Amino acid sequence: MKIIDLTHNFTKTMPAFPGDDPPLLIEERDDDNKIVHYRIETGMHIGTHMDGPLHMVPNGRMLSEIDVSAFIAAGHLIDARKKARLDASLIADIDISPRDCVLFYTGWDERFDSPDFYTSYPVMTEKLAHALTAKKISFIGIDTPSPDRAPYAIHRILLKEEILIIECMNNLSYLLTINRFEVIALPAKFEAEAAPVRVIARIEE
């Protein structure tokens, strides 16, 4: 079995969405007892993270209320490189079953530390979002900071149907030649609208 980590490292220098506070990741030491521990202060929408329904849907559920089975799914990788807009044609010929997940590889993870990471990323069309909801999938993942921009219509279409959204994924290129894989995406169990998530792909060899 092969495991691929699809998660960016969480660091104190990682980029934050424009207008959001940067994360604080502070090392603290107890030299008397030879103990090191870290303290964190962060928004939930930074680095590799998962959006839950409450993020954009009034009275939507928090991630901590979602059954853990929703975070594990058979995966499909969509090669969306060089696409300024991700449209429904990308999944037209893909055999997607209910409860699967769909990951979109744009190559944007390579710009994670670049000034334009949060400003000029490709976005999804509403037709693609509706096509995904029709498939009744569990979640989508993308290597950009968001599948859309304000006023966030794509978020609302997906989250209204409790299709979870993973943003800022990493290393999706490693799945380009893999036909079958399982995605395990476990968010921290905060009582919140979103959370950092550790995402892996599991591949049977």
Which pLDDT score, from 0 to 100, does residue 126 have? 98
Does the structure show a pLDDT above 90 at 78?
Answer: yes
* pLDDT above 90 (res 139): yes
Is the pLDDT at 202 greater than 90? The verdict is: yes
Kindly state the DSSP code that residue 195 receives in the 8-state scheme: E
Residue 12 has which token pair?
């104190």
Looking at the structure of the chain, the number of domains it has is 1
Q: Which domain holds residue 44?
A: 2-203
Instruction: Give the residue-averaged pLDDT of 81-105.
Output: 96
Q: In whole angstroms, give the CA distance from residue 29 to residue 17.
A: 30
- Whole-model pTM? 0.96
Q: Cα–Cα distances in Å, from 54 out to 48, 58, 146, 200?
A: 18, 6, 16, 24
Q: Report the percent of the chain where pLDDT is more than 90.
A: 91
Residue 115 pLDDT more than 90? no
User: Given this model, what pLDDT does residue 82 score?
Assistant: 86
pLDDT (average), residues 42-49: 96
| Strand 101-105, strand 139-142: pairing | parallel
Q: Could you tell me where the beta strands, DSSP code E, fall in 53-108?
A: 72-79, 85-86, 101-105
Instruction: Kindly list the distances between the CA atom of residue 176 and the CA atoms of 102, 118, 180, in Å, as whole numbers in the listed order.
Output: 13, 24, 11
pLDDT in tens, 155-188: 999 999 999 999 999 999 999 999 999 999 999 9
* 35 has pLDDT over 90: yes
- For position 33, what pLDDT does the model report? 85
Output the domain CATH number for residue 10. 3.50.30.50
Q: What is the pLDDT of residue 116?
A: 86
Q: Is the pLDDT of residue 31 over 90?
A: no
**Using CA atoms, how far apart are residues 16 and 3, in angstroms rounded to an integer?**
28
Separation CA 6–CA 183 (nearest Å):
9
